[in-house]
Structure 1
């Protein structure tokens, strides 16, 4: 079937017989799968951000005029085509079951989105409601179950281009909405053009209005990224030193002996690597080859030996801090409280030793702790790789060190809007992401996580420092650009002057309001369709 015929088959789904609808369903399924693959290509690893709009466009075309159950199937297809390859890093060392279980669980939310999109597809202004439903789906997915998993949101694909600026005005939800709205408006233009084509040559008055609708939808689709481009004008540029007093910061990536889960079995080697890189930095400072840092950042798991209990580990960290003459933010695994362990950032002063701490507030379920362990063991014995559960921290991670107020978030916390927002609200002048990606090998996980840091830099107008054990470490400027970055499994040290900013973006002032408003719009549109339909069914019964 030629592409035009496929498009027409999609566009005419609201009419025809049930048998015709079933014949067209395979083409809709292929369209949904193509939309999922287009989304995948937009994300880091392939890094083609403009393609993200094709995901919402494909789903809107596929489900237009369909019943909710068909929409659910098509949403599931798009979700699987997207999440299965996107999250393949999650099974790199633990097997396919955890990876596929995670991917399917996320695709089910897109199935719900497909059903809701189908329900509102005959409504007036359906491109607006559909775009809002994308935000609603991401809001739900980012909260349930076990605190949610907001990975793979539309907004997190936009590491470059006009949509990225919108993070400063409404965070990741507004970026997702803009991407989705552009896609649904393109879908509306396609549907209108197909109606005009079908009316060509007939004695009908429908062709003119259809062409005008197509032109209006296309103009609106182009207007969204244009607004994003204009939104860059008042925002900070790529300078790391403008906007406040500067501090010289060193980011250390010590590397691990080898990729995989077994890196932790050689935890002393990991600590020694970070100590040695810091000693080398100290020598470079003494030789005049590097600037004297005011503070040094080590990654998550840079000391999986508890330095409070192990005197030798404490001596090595103190040795590094004394040599470089600056406090070090150490990522450590700490015993307690009770039967738990803590994923902790420790400010280690060269004179006084360990001081302020931040304990990770959102440990990763089934990776850092196992809820309902007996239940999940029925599906995979890999849960027992997590021998002890990490505790949930309770305090916001703003740490005073080297004359700076450092906002610390650990690893996957960077994708959770509220965890980053309250860190900035508590007075962080710059953000630090301590992370350990050694367990994901040479996959795209590090690139995908770095993309979230780039969105956060724009969202809050702050420099973001990413310190990873094995990469990717980076210095992200307030406009989301990369001032420095490392490669995977390669030691690296960055020394940069970083401004301590106290400016407030619109996104920070609005908080979660854009997400809640857009979610309410989408939910309201579904209710506006579902409630009258339910009443009609009751009346006909």
Structure 2
């Protein structure tokens, strides 16, 4: 068992190398195969151990950036996320008793991804296999089968590779042939890529104002954060007036451009008015807005230079224990130091209609929202022509989190077939084309205004049309696979126990003695 556990840890660490900063997705099938082999042949009582070991190796490396919040947050989140792999280890051990186990194992992996991406408290999607494929041929499959489908292909490649390892003779040839067929099938989108159907154009400006001080504390000088956004926008307006830049149709500011309510704080309100009147077009402002004495909203607000604040998007997935505290009435009494820093709970938004910014319908996401499927899919289905992401990664600016999130952002552009503009307080900001190429990018810890002409599209990719149904199908197949694997096993155990019960006690004892 010790060898299995150590091997599982190594495979988990190997899977983490598929993501930024190493970004070597070629390791994914081998890491998944290692997970399968480490659990193979184990009883359900023990299969969780290599599963947990794999999860710890994976999560502690993948989420190393959480140390910016604190070692306790990094270790605690990593352990929690690892428990999903412990459960997955038990499921995979059971499913390998079935004849078609490579398929069932792959669906179980995707079901586990859906589980840790949605529960509890909306989950934590970091580490989905598909999030590592931005610069691979498999990225072209995203518009067709989505993030869930690409994860399924990657998990299936790993389970088939494990089948090749454990099989012999003719069966090994069959396993190798199926694996080769999967590889060829996954390359079909290269021959028939999704073609965006551009039905208009717009000029978009992204403003990155930077964060004062060390750059990792948005509240260190929050008024200067807002002033930086104003200053860069006013300079952009001057460049437009002098013909050095084209006039944008609208401007995107990042999340936390204002850390206080711009409707209550006069200085902040005046700064936004100065910027919007200078540039003369709407600004999508990332703002914290009061929602009573105990709650706040994290919003993207369309600020028109003439009519003022208008359409709003509210962050769908606030970060648990970072932006809100569940069971606050009980936890407040414990006076846990880090939790006391979250003075008010952030309320989750539910909007699935795109924002109207001028003549453009925009699907907005705020920070970690980009890692979740629901908000983006819903807005695109309802007519969004363009994607925006407003983010404040200042806490993680000195870590690899900013590159991991930017990779996920690129994948969303590919998956939806849309241009995407991402504005960050101090990195990574950029403008991304529907094929995932970064056409403009601002260096971290700099001030910049990126202005680009982008296409607008209302065509809906098959991935967005399918939506959550592919995940539900994987869950159904996983449950079916477990039933087919466990029912005969349970029936056999019951028969064995019934047979033992009919053996006279004296004979049973004699048999036991002889066997020893």
TM-score by length of 1: 0.88
Name the counterpart of 2:170: 212
Moved more, 160-169 or 436-445: 160-169
Correspondent of 2:351 among 380, 395, 398: 395
Seen in structure 2, the aligned counterparts of structure 1 residues 137 and 348 have a Cα distance that, compared at 3 Å, is: same
Please say if residues 110 and 151 of structure 2, whose CA atoms lie closer than 8 Å, have aligned partners that are also in contact: yes
Q: How is 1:99-114 mapped onto 2 (pairs within 5 angstroms)?
A: 99-114=74-89
Q: How is 1:97-496 mapped onto 2 (pairs within 5 angstroms)?
A: 97-192=72-167, 210-236=168-194, 243-259=198-214, 262-373=217-328, 374-375=330-331, 378=334, 380-396=336-352, 398-496=354-452
CA drift of 1:416 comes to 1.1
Seen in structure 2, the aligned counterparts of structure 1 residues 379 and 527 have a Cα distance that, compared at 3 Å, is: farther
Q: Distance in 2 between matches of 1:492 and 1:219?
A: 51
| Aligned residues between the structures | 496
Query: In angstroms, what is the RMSD of aligned CA positions?
Result: 1.8
Please say if residues 381 and 465 of structure 2, whose CA atoms lie closer than 8 Å, have aligned partners that are also in contact: no
Listed one character per residue, the Cα deviations across residues 205-247 of structure 1 (whole Å, up to 9, x for unaligned) are: xxxxx2332233223223323322221333346x9xx612000
Seen in structure 2, the aligned counterparts of structure 1 residues 337 and 224 have a Cα distance that, compared at 3 Å, is: farther
Name the counterpart of 1:39: 15
Moved more, 510-519 or 529-538: 529-538
CA drift of 1:454 comes to 1.8
Pairing 1:61–2:14 present: no
Q: Distance in 1 between matches of 2:268 and 2:247?
A: 24
Please say if residues 458 and 479 of structure 1, whose CA atoms lie closer than 8 Å, have aligned partners that are also in contact: yes
CA drift of 1:261 comes to 6.0
Q: Distance in 1 between matches of 2:280 and 2:303?
A: 11
CA drift of 1:143 comes to 1.7
CA drift of 1:34 comes to 1.8
Q: Distance in 2 between matches of 1:478 and 1:219?
A: 34
Name the counterpart of 2:504: none
CA drift of 1:531 comes to 2.2
Q: Distance in 2 between matches of 1:122 and 1:53?
A: 21
Please say if residues 8 and 51 of structure 2, whose CA atoms lie closer than 8 Å, have aligned partners that are also in contact: yes
Seen in structure 2, the aligned counterparts of structure 1 residues 419 and 223 have a Cα distance that, compared at 3 Å, is: same
Q: Distance in 1 between matches of 2:474 and 2:380?
A: 23
CA drift of 1:496 comes to 0.8
Seen in structure 2, the aligned counterparts of structure 1 residues 42 and 378 have a Cα distance that, compared at 3 Å, is: farther
CA drift of 1:375 comes to 3.4
Q: Distance in 2 between matches of 1:312 and 1:387?
A: 23
Moved more, 522-531 or 37-46: 522-531
Moved >4 Å (runs of 4+)? 376-380
CA drift of 1:112 comes to 0.6
Moved more, 111-120 or 228-237: 228-237
Q: Distance in 2 between matches of 1:168 and 1:377?
A: 48
Q: Give the match's secondary structure for 2:346.
A: coil
Name the counterpart of 1:81: 57
Name the counterpart of 1:207: none
Structure 2 gaps, min length 5: 499-516
Q: Distance in 1 between matches of 2:250 and 2:181?
A: 44
Q: Give the match's secondary structure for 1:308.
A: coil
Q: Distance in 1 between matches of 2:136 and 2:319?
A: 31
Structure 1 gaps, min length 5: 1-24, 193-209
Please say if residues 49 and 159 of structure 1, whose CA atoms lie closer than 8 Å, have aligned partners that are also in contact: no
TM-score by length of 2: 0.92
Q: Distance in 2 between matches of 1:313 and 1:417?
A: 33
Q: Give the match's secondary structure for 1:371.
A: coil
